Amino acid sequence: MLVRVKRTVLEQAAEWRCGKDAVLDAIRSGELRAAKIAGRWLIEPADAEVYEQARTNRPPPRPRRRPRRRVL
């Protein structure tokens, strides 16, 4: 049986090394997807990864080209 582990706001803030207010601001702005269940915001790890990739300053990796063949 596959069990999905969702993170709370405090757990996500600890992973990102920020305050819980920063995580709540991202949720309220609609940039970070979360579900409010029993009065607690729960975040899927995949949604947190999508949020991080959208906010990173690195471009996506370019595909590698094959080296040219030398003609003798």
- Sequence ranges of the domains in the chain: 7-55
Residue 59 pLDDT greater than 80, yes or no: no
- The CA distance from 46 to 52, in Å, is 10
Residue 5 pLDDT greater than 70, yes or no: yes
42-57 pLDDT, tens digit each: 999 999 999 998 888 8
Closest CA to 32 of 19, 46, 15, 14: 46
- Average pLDDT (45-72) is 85
Collapsing DSSP to helix, strand or coil, 61 comes out as: coil
Task: Check if the beta carbon of residue 26 is closer than 8 Å to that of residue 51.
Answer: yes
Task: Check if the beta carbon of residue 13 is closer than 8 Å to that of residue 22.
Answer: yes
- Average pLDDT (25-40) is 95
For the ranges 17-26, 35-44, 59-68, the lowest mean pLDDT is seen at 59-68
Q: What value does the mean pLDDT of the chain take?
A: 89
